[in-house]
Amino acid sequence: MIVNVEVSPWLVRFVRSPAFYIIMALSGASVSFAPLFLYQNGQGQFYPAYHRFLVPLLFAVIVLVPAAYFRVADPLIRELRKK
């Protein structure tokens, strides 16, 4: 099966930009280390003095990094479901 997908120019620039490399690097952290550090911070074991800064940052990494991948994969998934 061959699928041709048209994507917006903004999305192409985003995927080819250095920002996407940062998102790719953070993807492993969003799945494994960010939830662990969030749990440890709640227990007071992971930099408890920076609690107000770390909790929103870790939660943002957990939520926003996969959201970027969903945004990139959405046109492909939508096209595959048509066929």
Q: What is the pLDDT of residues 4-58, one digit of tens each?
A: 777 778 877 877 888 878 877 777 777 788 888 888 888 888 888 888 888 898 8
- Please give the full DSSP string across the chain, using - where no structure is assigned: --------HHHHHHHHSHHHHHHHHHHHIIIIIHHHHHHHHHHT-S-GGGHHHHHHHHHHHHHHHHHHHHHHHHHHHHHHHH-
The answer to whether residue 27 sits within a structural domain is: yes
The answer to whether residue 6 sits within a structural domain is: no
Domain, as residue range, for 52: 16-82
Does residue 80 surpass a pLDDT of 80? no
The answer to whether residue 35 sits within a structural domain is: yes
| pLDDT classification of 83: cutoffs 50, 70, 90 | low
The answer to whether residue 1 sits within a structural domain is: no
Query: For residue 25, which amino acid is it?
Result: A
- With tokens 């096209």, the residue in question is 79
The answer to whether residue 11 sits within a structural domain is: no
Total structural domains in the chain? 1
The predicted structure's pLDDT at residue 3: 67
